[in-house]
Amino acid sequence: MGRAKLPRKSTNIDMTAMCDVAFLLLSFFIMATKQKPPEAVAVQAPTSVSSKAVPEKSILTTLTKEGKVFIMLGDDTKKAAILADINTTRGLGLTPAELTKLGRMQFIGMPLGTLKGLVNLSSPLPADKMEGIPIADSATNELVDWYRSVTNVYSGGSSKALEEMMLIKGDNLAKYPAFKNVKYALKKNSLYKFRIVTNSEITPVGSELYNNNRAGVDAAGEKLK
């Protein structure tokens, strides 16, 4: 008796298309992902309902939970000028070569007096070994000097541009008095407006801000653009 033969088909599937899709997706994700901006030290930033994005160029002051302060001085051209300014105003006696070395550091978190020694170290000091910029009391608050040099360098431009660049990033658990000392340094240099880096949070439903956002008006009751 003859048996009905089922036609046998190959189980090979052409994987090319699948492969194409996989790598297309991969390249999309890699390109769409923005690189995380470099950080001096990892801090857990608080959350806020603000929806403003972080500006590209900034003077970022980081406050860790131990109360240490680090500063990152924006783009390279201004950075060199800021370092040169603080070198002359505080008489640090750094040579141009040492200034270039200092400029290559992403952030600064040491007292001014130790900078000369720091750049001449054979191996770079890790961030967690740095003691931070002294801010403890108003007489020796070196952040005042840093901000003075920053304002000196940016004095030509609009003050609004500088205000938008002054970022403070603090850890959730940083003590308030430490933040007050940072604020003191800003005020001392007539910087009355600055920005705090936060993670975004959803606006609570039913609150005034939520209703304003839905109605498309800002806090003053004016239409948003």
Partner 1 sequence: MAEITTNTTTKQIGVKRLNKKSTKVDLTPMVDLGFLLITFFVFTTTMAKPTVMNVVVPNDKDSTIHDDVCSSCALTVMLDKDNSIKYFEGSAENAIVKETNFSAEGIRKILVDKKQAVKQARGNANEMVLIIKPMLQSNFQNFVDITDEVAINGIKKYYIDDAEL
Binding site for partner 1 (CB under 8 A): 14-19, 22-23, 25-26, 29-30, 33, 36, 45-55, 63, 167-168, 170-180, 183, 186-187, 190, 192-201, 203-204, 207-210, 212, 219
Q: What span, in angstroms and rounded, lies between the C-alpha atoms of 110 and 134?
A: 8
Q: How far is the CB of 133 from partner 1 (least distance, A)?
A: 17
Shortest Cβ distance from residue 46 to partner 1 (Å)?
4
Amino acid symbol at 221 = G
* Whole-angstrom distance, CA of residue 77 vs CA of residue 111: 23
Q: List, in sequence order, every residue forming a beta bridge with 59; answer none if it has no partner.
A: 73, 166
Both tokens of residue 6? 């089922």
Minimum separation from the CB atom of position 105 to partner 1 (A): 22
Distance CA 91, CA 123 (A): 25
CB of 183 to partner 1, least distance (A): 6
Q: Quick one: 121 or 219, whose CB is closer to partner 1? A: 219
Nearer CB in complex with partner 1: 19/161: 19
CB neighbour class for 45 (10 Å; exposed up to 12, middle 13-18, buried from 19): middle
Q: Nearer to partner 1 by C-beta: 104 or 187?
A: 187
